[in-house]
Each structure stands twice: as structure tokens, then as C-alpha cells.
Amino acid sequence: MKIMNKNIRVLWGYYLGIGFGIILVVAFFTSQMFMPLFFGRARSLRVPNVINMHLTKANGILIDNKLHGVVRDSTWSDEIQNGFVISQKPDPGDKIKPDGSVYLIISSGSKYVKVPNLLGMTVQSAWIVLRNNGLRISVTDSIYSDLYSINTVVQSSPSIGERVEKNSRIKLYISKGTGRTNDTLDVISDFEY
């Protein structure tokens, strides 16, 4: 009797396994073959042109078209401003399924920046201006100046307006103040030996 109950349980296990397998196969064919016949397949969409648009606007247009914008990379560009789309894949006009991804390459702006005018600024103010322009500071020397007050920038190297790569180091020369003062005793011109 125990052997017969065990065999019946094994048979029921096979029947249940086969039944679940049939249900899965029917569900798959229904979802992949019959449903599209009755309700139609998802239509393809034309990819809009988002080149030369700001990333925010480009993403808005892609979302309106039921697509997803994915930033794949960023690169330097002298022609296209920082944060704007340089290129896209798939290309504009290509067909893609709804909820598809459009891969974007974004501009990081120009690789070069002009050295700002720092003359007369304090070292701290010059540091802030250089940092905001993507440059670094190096206080090189201090020199006397009749034009600029003590602890202000007298000169920079490279000079004002020169184009340099971002993250370049700008050398600053700081004013010691006006004129030299004698550190020694005055020399007496009438001194005789």
C-alpha cells in the first residue's frame, strides 16, 4: 500500500509539472503571437533631432516622444557650448521602438579659457576668480610696485587675455608695496677716512 501511494504521488507530481509547463507555453505564445495580432505591435518612432540643444531641453523632447536620453560621454568642443548635445545615436530620423534609448554625447565646453584680469585684486579674490574659470593659482614672487597696494596682484603669467587650457596654473606676482626702504644706516657722503 505504501509503495502504491508513493507511485500515485510521483504521478501527480509529473501531471502537475506537465500542467504548469503547458500553462507557461500557452501564456508565452499568447503574449508573443496572439496578443499582437489582436492589438497590434508597438509602432516604431522616428528619433527627433536633439543635436545643438541643451541637455535639459533634449531630454524633454525625447520624453515627449516616449524615448529615453542617456548621456554616454562628454567631450571638449570650441564650437558647442557646455551642456549642449554634440551627437546622438540612433541618428535623427532613424526608427526606434517606444521606450528606446537615445545615446547622447554632451559638450564640456571649450578646453581653453582666457586668463582673466587679476591686476589689483587680493590673492584671495584672484584665487576665487581663477577657480571659477577652471584655473589654478601659483604665487610666484613678490615685487615692489608704486601702482598697486601691498598684497595685491601686480602681474600674471601667462598674461591677461591669453588662451590657456583649463586647469592650468597661473603664476601671480604680488606687490610688496611702494618703493624700497633702506634696511641699513644712511651712508654719510662726507665721510672721510
Rounded mean pLDDT, 31-45: 72
Rounded mean pLDDT, 10-35: 84
pLDDT per position as a tens digit, 156-177: 999 999 999 999 999 999 999 8
Half-sphere exposure of 176 (CA within 13 A, CB side): 8
Tell me the residue range of the domain where 163 lies.
112-175
pLDDT per position as a tens digit, 39-96: 766 678 899 999 999 999 999 999 999 999 999 999 999 899 999 999 999 999 999 9
Q: Does residue 69 belong to any structural domain of this protein?
A: yes
Let me know whether 70 and 97 are in one domain.
Answer: yes
Q: Does residue 188 belong to any structural domain of this protein?
A: no
Let me know whether 36 and 65 are in one domain.
Answer: no
Burial class (CB in 10 A: 0-12, 13-18, 19+), 93: exposed
Against a cut of 0.75, is the pTM above it?
Answer: no
Which of 107, 129, 161 is the last residue in one of the domains? 107
Number of domains in the chain: 3
Rounded mean pLDDT, 22-35: 81
Q: Does residue 163 belong to any structural domain of this protein?
A: yes
Burial class (CB in 10 A: 0-12, 13-18, 19+), 106: buried
Residue % of the chain over a pLDDT of 70? 85
- Residue 188 confidence class, pLDDT cut points 50, 70, 90: very low
